[in-house]
Structure 1
Amino acid sequence: MRTVLPELLTEVLARHGDRVAVTDADGCLGYAELAGRARAAADRLTRYGERGEPLRVGLYATNSVEYVVGYLATLFAGAVPFLADSAFGPYELSRIAEDCGLDLLIHAPSADVRAVAAETLTDDGEFGYLTVSRVRPYDTPRPPLLDDTEVCRFTSGSTGRPNCIEFSGAAVSAAAANWAKGTGLTAEDRIACFAALSNGLAFNTSLLAAFLPGASLHLSHGLPTASRVVRLLENTAATRLVAFPALYESIVRRSPEEGFATVRTAISSGAPLRETVREEFTRLTGVPIHNYYGVAETGPLTYAPDGDGSGLGAPLPGVHLLAEERGIRVRSESMGSRYLNAPGLFEKRVDDEGYYHTGDQGRLLDGALHLTGRTSRLVNVGGRKIDPIEIVDVLRTAPGVLDAVAFEAENQHGEPALAAVVAVEAGVTAQSLRTHCAATLPSFKVPGILRLVDRIPANSIGKPSIERLRRLLSTPQSN
């Protein structure tokens, strides 16, 4: 197995030894201290190894100093970290463990890992409050990793399962280096990160990217509320804020009068940010929100340095982007290699020129990318193409509907069907929703499968979790 990241991190941690590397509400580690902690934890992981190939270690926890220690320790041990979203439930976690052949799991003691853990392993505190468990063996053979794979991350599950993306060490280091270069990240920056480190937004902008120039990374425990954001910014004198759109909306609702004095840059990605929120946030805080466009499979792609809301910015170093009638195609130095647990699917999205088809539509205006829609969202039912967005728009106008998601699913005969999960108030029925849809939509666009819920299940960045929605359809509807 060829490795890049352990050598790179060894050099980086040694170079910035006396500087603050990472903090959370419970602790602070300088670069030299972080190296020492990670090395000790790596030695412990090595003792747990039994196979003649690199250990596969799942990281299943929220952001913390200990999470960073566990991630670096896994790399230093010559193992491969699998960064699982802490919002995944037991079902998703068991799918990942079996699909990817995990050996160990680093997790919070309170996490429900009963479905995958065979035993809890003892340590001498190398992982802080986190626990290491051995994953139970599965009967299915585990798929082999590529020789140069050093990190694995997961899609958000919008395809119906968390697909595991393999990344080479060269791709991970390129993502960090090109982000730092393209956004002007320096040793004097202090990054307040409220996005999960398992997600591309934080992974690409706030982990290795922070360590390369010697910046400091500041993490928060618990629910990222507006008051928690202000408190962390004040305590750390942060210069950069990294968060998803929902958090900026929360801050705007709170209308803070202080806390942003040192912040120069706010970064948003993961979902569309409403222009009214952007404008109000900047009016309240004086801080511009900079758009960042990335795809899980390709890494960070663009950055808007002006923060004026006019597009998603120009391509970052190492990124080639084409906006054409057939959609946006990208080729990047940070591109993943394949899906470990979905053979051939990733490769189908890469053309002969090495460009990945993102499924997004957009155009380049004065060098800046502007998204206009999706090319791959249509549902094909009986040869008819249906846009789920149209269905959702109609459902949301029905009395008593709070939110809705439409997607393709299989009916009882195993055939493609249009499904919708709808969050409703008391008294709303499936029949009333079908009647409402039939009043404005042709019959083939009325959802054949309807499930009513109190709220739409979402992943850690606030997007609907299609995996959980599909599982809802397979369970009996309670009365």
Structure 2
Amino acid sequence: MTFLLPEAFSDALSRHGGRLAVADPDGSLDCAGLAERAHAAAARITGHATSGDRLRVGLYATNSTDYLVSYLGTLFAGAVPFLIDSAFGPFELSRIAEDCGLDLLIHAQDAAVSPPATEPPVREDEFGALVVSRVREGSGPRPRLLGTTEVCRFTSGSTGRPNCIEFSGRAVHAAAANWARGTGLSAEDRIACLAALSNGLAFNTSLLAAFLSGASLHLSRGLPTASRVTRLLESTGATRLVAFPALYESIVRRSTVTGFTTVRTAISSGAPLRESVRERFTHLTGVPVHNYYGVAETGPLTYAPEGGGSGLGASLPGVRLLAGPDGIRVRSESMGSRYLNAPGVFEDRIDAEGFYRTGDQGYLRDGALHLTGRTGRMVNVGGRKIDPIEVAGVLRGAPDVTDAVAFEYENQHGEPTLAAVVATGPGATVRELREHCAAVLPSFKVPGILHLVDEIPVNSIGKPSVVRLRRLLDDAQTG
């Protein structure tokens, strides 16, 4: 069977052969060099095949040229890449390996992947600093992939287990092509990408989209601090900055801001960016912040051009949005097919007209989307969706804990974070509870604020009183 994405990448790399394709702090590759390394990696991946079924390859690493080589190598091998958030811990990683029937895992040498691995990692020169582990032996039962699936990505599910979204090559290509067309991405652009390539913000705006346009992709490493961003922008002459709202919050807190001379566009998504932060950032840097709205299951949906007013902008090409009492619904050319490991859940969110129910509340004004809240319980922290019920359940399993409630709360900087109020006996400590959570949950699901009490306050019908819980935290923050 012929797949779309290998052909699309091969064609783009061939057309732009001598141009810079990707760079990180350790080096760079032009398009021809990237294609050469990716095909060598593909030959190594193909050598791991043990049956006629397509190999399923998990990519579990931070952004780097080696990550990109591994991703393209997987596609060129006719295998299916599963893009796993590097913030997931060993427990969640083992769930993914089991739920999705992964064959191989490409990861950093020091990554904590021993629970799902069935043999030691093998160093393959084509993958640079990354290594390959086999995580599945034999040909036992596993969920069957759709024949059109070419990439899988993950989102936090309502059960707490990461839902694996299957995407056809056509959907991935449409997301990239429509983003490039709708935002004016060109071969003259240099993209400084501070979001993980496994996340929809980077995947949709900075991966295939860059190569289709002939733009260059510049990747950072480590925590995206304001100082690291400045160095990246100055060293690359970036014209586009792609980052989560937390980074813009960090930048505006600095007394002086430099490095934005060449940047024409800053793109924010994953969580709401406060209007005051957007205005302050533009005042300090001279760079407009363009809001972008997307959903993991449906791809990029809106973009707010410069001078486009408030809100999240109008629909991108290939997107149709509806707003009503039951929330925002969307139909897009970049929509996922289903959840591999949660049969029927994705399908239940599609209405009779083929629209996906996003779970967001909002309205359309003059064609621009404005969000007002969520129809569900998920908490959005730094662009990642967290189920507070899952987190509270983990806390209740800790020693000396009698009850726990988790919810969204603003930290001292006014940014949304996950907080938990925990009823405990005299032996529990905040440190022990953090360690308990970290042993089971990925780091981004560990509450940023933990407050211990003797008893959870309740309302008149015996349910936890969110008002009183928030007051407890307010008092603790100011006390």
* Same fold per superposition (TM over 0.5): yes
Corresponding residue of 2:287: 287
The alignment status of 1:443 with 2:462, answered yes or no, reads: yes
Q: C-alpha separation between the residues in 2 aligned to 1:302 and 1:39?
A: 35
Q: C-alpha separation between the residues in 2 aligned to 1:84 and 1:391?
A: 25
Corresponding residue of 1:339: 339
Q: Deviations over 1:251-275 (max 9, x none)?
A: 1112433200000000001111111
Q: Deviations over 1:42-83 (max 9, x none)?
A: 011111111211100000000000000000000000000000
CA contact (8 A) 1:239 1:263 kept: yes
Corresponding residue of 2:240: 240
Corresponding residue of 2:227: 227
TM, length-normalised to structure 1:
0.82
Structure-2 change in CA distance of 1:424 and 1:46 (3 Å): closer
Corresponding residue of 2:450: 424
Q: C-alpha separation between the residues in 1 aligned to 2:108 and 2:406?
A: 40
Q: Deviations over 1:386-439 (max 9, x none)?
A: xxxx99489999xxxx96259xxxxxxxxxxxxx978336xx4242xx24x54x
Q: C-alpha separation between the residues in 1 aligned to 2:410 and 2:259?
A: 40
Corresponding residue of 1:51: 51
Structure-2 change in CA distance of 1:290 and 1:444 (3 Å): same
CA contact (8 A) 1:151 1:166 kept: yes
Give the secondary-structure state (helix, strand or coil) at the position aligned to 1:126: helix
How far apart are 1:124 and its partner, in Å?
Answer: 4.6
Q: Which letter does structure 2 place at the counterpart of 1:135?
A: V
Q: Which letter does structure 1 place at the counterpart of 2:450?
A: V
CA contact (8 A) 1:117 1:135 kept: yes
CA contact (8 A) 2:123 2:130 kept: no
Q: Deviations over 1:206-264 (max 9, x none)?
A: 00011101000000111111000000000000000000011111111124332000000
Q: How does 1:75-114 map to 2 (within 5 A)?
A: 75-114=75-114
Structure-2 change in CA distance of 1:422 and 1:9 (3 Å): closer
Q: Which letter does structure 1 place at the counterpart of 2:112?
A: D
Structure-2 change in CA distance of 1:444 and 1:242 (3 Å): same
Structure-2 change in CA distance of 1:111 and 1:446 (3 Å): same
TM, length-normalised to structure 2:
0.82
Q: Which letter does structure 2 place at the counterpart of 1:259?
A: G
How far apart are 1:139 and its partner, in Å?
Answer: 9.7
CA contact (8 A) 1:190 1:239 kept: yes
CA contact (8 A) 1:108 1:130 kept: yes
CA contact (8 A) 1:59 1:71 kept: yes
Structure-2 change in CA distance of 1:30 and 1:357 (3 Å): same
Structure-2 change in CA distance of 1:35 and 1:192 (3 Å): same
Corresponding residue of 1:272: 272
Structure 2 gaps, min length 5 = 379-386, 390-404, 422-445, 474-479
Q: C-alpha separation between the residues in 1 aligned to 2:35 and 2:303?
A: 31
Structure-2 change in CA distance of 1:204 and 1:277 (3 Å): same
Q: C-alpha separation between the residues in 2 aligned to 1:422 and 1:169?
A: 37
Q: Deviations over 1:361-384 (max 9, x none)?
A: 1111011000111122399x9xxx
Structure-2 change in CA distance of 1:127 and 1:396 (3 Å): closer
Q: C-alpha separation between the residues in 2 aligned to 1:355 and 1:160?
A: 24
Q: C-alpha separation between the residues in 1 aligned to 2:252 and 2:157?
A: 29
CA contact (8 A) 2:233 2:260 kept: yes
Corresponding residue of 1:387: none
How far apart are 1:156 and its partner, in Å?
Answer: 3.4
Q: C-alpha separation between the residues in 2 aligned to 1:64 and 1:404?
A: 32
Give the secondary-structure state (helix, strand or coil) at the position aligned to 2:134: strand
How far apart are 1:323 and its partner, in Å?
Answer: 0.9
CA contact (8 A) 2:171 2:333 kept: yes
Give the secondary-structure state (helix, strand or coil) at the position aligned to 1:187: coil
* Number of aligned residues: 417
Q: Deviations over 1:280-308 (max 9, x none)?
A: 11111011111000000000000001266
Q: Which letter does structure 1 place at the counterpart of 2:31?
A: Y
Structure-2 change in CA distance of 1:304 and 1:127 (3 Å): same
Structure-2 change in CA distance of 1:269 and 1:161 (3 Å): same
Structure-2 change in CA distance of 1:58 and 1:395 (3 Å): closer
The worse-fitting range, judged by mean Cα deviation, of 238-247 and 254-263 is 254-263
The worse-fitting range, judged by mean Cα deviation, of 210-219 and 119-128 is 119-128
Q: Deviations over 1:88-135 (max 9, x none)?
A: 000110000000000000000010000011123545510000011110
CA contact (8 A) 1:155 1:162 kept: yes
Structure-2 change in CA distance of 1:121 and 1:422 (3 Å): closer
Corresponding residue of 2:200: 200
Q: C-alpha separation between the residues in 1 aligned to 2:159 and 2:464?
A: 21
Q: C-alpha separation between the residues in 2 aligned to 1:133 and 1:151?
A: 19
The alignment status of 1:177 with 2:177, answered yes or no, reads: yes
How far apart are 1:146 and its partner, in Å?
Answer: 0.1
Q: C-alpha separation between the residues in 1 aligned to 2:418 and 2:368?
A: 32
CA contact (8 A) 2:420 2:450 kept: no
CA contact (8 A) 1:24 1:220 kept: yes
RMSD: 2.7
Q: Which letter does structure 2 place at the counterpart of 1:404?
A: A
How far apart are 1:353 and its partner, in Å?
Answer: 1.2
Q: C-alpha separation between the residues in 1 aligned to 2:346 and 2:201?
A: 20
Give the secondary-structure state (helix, strand or coil) at the position aligned to 2:115: coil
CA contact (8 A) 1:98 1:140 kept: no
How far apart are 1:138 and its partner, in Å?
Answer: 8.8
Structure-2 change in CA distance of 1:339 and 1:17 (3 Å): same
